[in-house]
Structure 1
Amino acid sequence: MTTGARAMQVLPQAGHPRNPGMTLDLDWVAAVQANTSAIERRAATLPGRRSVKKDHQAAWLCKAISLIDLTTLSGDDTTGRVQRLCAKARAPVRADLLDRLGMTGLTVGAVCVYHEMVGPAVRALEGSGIPVAAVSTGFPAGLSPFHLRIAEIGESVAAGAQEIDIVISRRHVLTGNWQALYDEMAEMRAACGAAHVKAILATGELGTLRNVARASLVCMMAGADFIKTSTGKEGVNATLPVSLTMIRAIRDYEARTGFRVGYKPAGGISKAKDALVYLSLMRDELGLPWCQPDLFRFGASSLLGDIERQLEHHVSGNYSAGNRHPMG
């Protein structure tokens, strides 16, 4: 596919042009640095510097729900579990609470599953407008033979996945082999076709924030629609310093190329207050366009339960037990 043709495509939920990628610019990559102490100081200020209350908080929490990739990635996943998760995706908050909030029709951003569960998820979400995302390319390690990783993408797209979450080969980052990372990402992007591709960097395994920044840039150059922190299986997943590093790379890429790339923090985000911090970060650093599902997602499942509890407190004045808000 030519660069011009790729530029005209748009993401499933987006009205802006899809990132077509660009030729690998090794001079730009080499120039990227990350001031770790400054990034950590800035990140440390975020949880305490901004607070929204009452109706404003409820509105932002409803916004956070619309950005969740509701996820199940367990070895014991079954069709029944995925069907229940999809029912929750269609109706993420109890109907009586949504009525009181004036938010009827609210849904999550997507449902994320392994390839085997793509078919059941697509059928369960039929007519809802909610896309199915499939984790792919030897998730979570990304160490299966490359031709099998590419074939896995094709199988998931053929099964109906509209979004593909791929994992990069961490060794390319750790050894500074940016050409290999670019070539790998570009081939995976091509295999996705019209499907929306999220590049998982597994930032907890990349060693330094400079590596995170450079890997983010290379994946965007190769055509990633989103860059994502983690598989959720690493020892360290999404953090605020990593997020700040990645979204500033996104900002630099848009300034240089004019194309917008999305961001997805995943793993460890389970509290409503954390979602508010991430949303404030996105608004401060990138602006309101990056507070929409086409450019921002949370990779989470338990987050939804805590947000629903907070919304019930807003409506009733009382906190409820978690079992009043089951995931399925």
Structure 2
Amino acid sequence: MDSQTAERTAQLPQVTEPRNPGMALDLDWVANVQANTSAIERRAASLPGRRSVKKDYQAAWLLKAITLIDLTTLSGDDTAGRVRRLCSKARQPVRTELLDALGVDGITTGAVCVYHDMIAPAVQALQGSDIPVAAVSTGFPAGLSPFHLRLAEIEESVKAGAKEIDIVISRRHVLTQNWQALYDEMKAFRAACGDAHVKAILATGELGTLRNVARASLICMMAGADFIKTSTGKESVNATLPVSLVMIRAIRDYYDRTGYRVGYKPAGGISKAKDSLVYLSLIKEELGDRWLMPDLFRFGASSLLGDIERQLEHHVTGAYSAGYRHAMG
């Protein structure tokens, strides 16, 4: 994909799929799901060295990665001013002179992701753009608040203007293999979201095994998740390639069985431009080009954008600039 192709695809309306309606809980399917850890780790370890794109092709793929970022701030010291600056960066993620040199315009990030209290300033700052606001919910990041409050939190965030809701599952349901409870919980979260799309955060670093990750992915999709997401970004282990491979193949199996495409969002720990290229190549190889669109793939990140912009400047000028030249706002 060259820079001219990146420009064309960036300006296309976001392609939309029929929403995943979910299905009846199929415990036989879940019981048959296994994960060959050694094979998964070998495949994941081979990825960084198998695909390499250079020059204009690399620049085009990095521009594509920008359009797939959920630009995120989830800190206790978030302010309305910080969120407005982040939204400004979402609207104009790369400096104008760099885009002009690349022959590209119309690039924005995929979404802006914030806590509930920051939805209003984000919605206001993004007014007139097609950039949705995503809100983390359901007692993020631990998901241990009372169930009725978690449902109410979703409803309040949707009412405030969030178009996407990132929920966290109850890890104990996975660790105790209580698949019915996980299914019922996810189904209730999906219903509370209404027309807002729901991303199910599995917190994979706390699920114990890759088999648990595979089974939890499948349960959440059966219950109607629009996306499955690796992590909150607050765990000690966040997105990894082995976990991503397991979740992506669960998505592929679900699509083969039902005909519905579910999105994927790796989050936490993806901060380098070269890492984004590895994830994009994984998606392309395992799921195909259709998943390389904002309605089916997102990066949960903030610092990633700065490094991508830095690499694009190097492509244009031949020199690396200081990180502070690519601030979030």
Please classify the TM superposition score into its range, dividing by the shorter chain length.
over 0.9
Q: Distance in 1 between matches of 2:152 and 2:14?
A: 25
1:252 alignment partner in structure 2:
253
| SS of match in other structure, 1:29 | helix
| SS of match in other structure, 1:256 | helix
1:1-328 alignment runs, 5 A limit = 13-328=14-329
Letter matched to residue 285 of structure 2:
D
Shift of the alpha carbon at 1:291?
A: 0.7
| SS of match in other structure, 1:108 | coil
Letter matched to residue 83 of structure 1:
R
Letter matched to residue 231 of structure 1:
T
Letter matched to residue 166 of structure 2:
D
1:9 alignment partner in structure 2:
none
Shift of the alpha carbon at 1:103?
A: 1.5
2:10 alignment partner in structure 1:
none
Alignment check: 8 A CA contact 2:15 2:293 kept: no
CA 145–13 in structure 1, closer or farther in 2 if over 3 Å, else same: farther
Q: Distance in 1 between matches of 2:81 and 2:121?
A: 9
Q: Distance in 2 between matches of 1:147 and 1:245?
A: 31
2:4 alignment partner in structure 1:
none
CA 145–14 in structure 1, closer or farther in 2 if over 3 Å, else same: farther
Tell me the matched-pair count.
317
2:8 alignment partner in structure 1:
none
Q: Distance in 2 between matches of 1:109 and 1:103?
A: 17
1:5 alignment partner in structure 2:
none
Q: Distance in 2 between matches of 1:60 and 1:128?
A: 23
Q: Distance in 1 between matches of 2:328 and 2:87?
A: 10
Shift of the alpha carbon at 1:235?
A: 0.2
Letter matched to residue 259 of structure 1:
Y
Q: Distance in 1 between matches of 2:231 and 2:15?
A: 23
Deviations 1:29-83 (A, max 9, x none): 0000000000000000001111000000000000000000000000000000000
CA 136–13 in structure 1, closer or farther in 2 if over 3 Å, else same: farther
**What are structure 2's unaligned runs of at least 5 residues?**
1-12
Q: Distance in 2 between matches of 1:265 and 1:247?
A: 10
| SS of match in other structure, 1:197 | strand
Shift of the alpha carbon at 1:13?
A: 4.2
Shift of the alpha carbon at 1:142?
A: 0.1
Deviations 1:189-208 (A, max 9, x none): 00000001000000000000
Letter matched to residue 237 of structure 2:
V
Deviates more, 1:292-301 or 1:96-105: 96-105
Q: Distance in 1 between matches of 2:198 and 2:101?
A: 36
Shift of the alpha carbon at 1:104?
A: 1.0
Shift of the alpha carbon at 1:14?
A: 3.9
Shift of the alpha carbon at 1:16?
A: 1.6
Q: Distance in 2 between matches of 1:205 and 1:245?
A: 15
Q: Distance in 1 between matches of 2:232 and 2:62?
A: 24
| SS of match in other structure, 1:176 | coil
Moved over 4 A (4+): none
Identity of aligned residues (%): 83
**What are structure 1's unaligned runs of at least 5 residues?**
1-11
Shift of the alpha carbon at 1:98?
A: 0.6
Q: Distance in 1 between matches of 2:281 and 2:130?
A: 27
Shift of the alpha carbon at 1:319?
A: 0.4
